[in-house]
Amino acid sequence: MRILFGGTFDPPTLAHLALARDLRDRLGVEIEWLPNRISPLKSAPQAGAHRVEMLRQLIQSESGFALNLLELELPEPSYSVQTLRALHESDQDQTWVFCMGADSFENIQRWREWQSLLDLCHILVVPRPGAQMNAPREWQDRQAGIEIFDLQSHGHWVAWDGPELDIASSRVRSAKEQGLAWSHWVAPLVADYIEENAIYEHDSSRTG
């Protein structure tokens, strides 16, 4: 079984870290951090390639974490179904578990070929503040418990009862741009990297 923890990670926060640790410790497997390239449902990441280096800083002293850069090597924009197909083709006997936030799961019907996702993996829905774990009508009978990971290679979604920390990456970016306190929301090595590389500095030419 391989656990894919996908996201923009712009920047990775202590909420991301707490959730990844919870998944690793309770499932007893390595967690693969899977940064996306450009999500079709989000604006381009502000930190660009720095996101990978921030993740390297974040996980370098942690056991049971790895970086999976496959999605960054695929054509833009980042479609999860495309990434999962590439992974599935590389190892068709593997059980792939794709983690997504409850906020994304609520909008899963906006994703490219969303109906095909459960043909390629299981989906592990993790809590996000203010979001409900509501499955589309077509998936109402596809919910299962984590024991399904040992029984079937794909086809179900699981609701995870892990930590729900209200630390959005957008909050970190906004605070940094406005000169407010922000470093307590990220790991110290990530904070140092952001400072050293002047990421998320205020740019008067940007609007919105």
Ordered alpha helix ranges (H), the chain: 14-27, 50-59, 70-73, 80-90, 102-106, 148-151, 169-177, 188-196
Mean pLDDT, rounded, for 86-90:
90
Polymer length in residues for the chain: 208
pLDDT exceeds 90 at position 66: yes
What is the per-residue pLDDT across 1-60, written as a single tens digit (0 to 9) for each? 999 999 889 999 999 999 999 999 999 999 999 998 876 656 566 777 899 999 999 999
> Per the confidence metrics, is the pTM higher than 0.85?
yes
Whether the per-residue pLDDT at 169 is higher than 50: the answer is yes
Distance (Å, whole) CA 128 – CA 121: 21
pLDDT of residue 204: 36
Query: What pLDDT, on the 0 to 100 scale, is given for residue 157?
Result: 97
Question: What pLDDT score was predicted for residue 190?
Answer: 96
For residues 150-177, average pLDDT: 92
Mean pLDDT (the chain, rounded): 89
Note the pLDDT tens digit of each residue in 28-41.
Answer: 999 999 998 876 65
Q: Which of 163, 180, 154, 159 is nearest to 100 (CA)?
A: 159
| Distance, CA of 80 to CA of 83 (rounded, Å) | 5
Contacts of residue 195, defined as CB under 8 A and 6 or more positions apart, other chains included, come to: none
Q: Tell me what percent of the residues of the chain surpass a pLDDT of 70.
A: 93
* Domain annotation for the chain: domains and CATH numbers: 2-196 (3.40.50.620)
Lowest mean pLDDT among 114-118, 143-147, 157-161, 162-166: 162-166
Greater model confidence, 76 or 102: 102
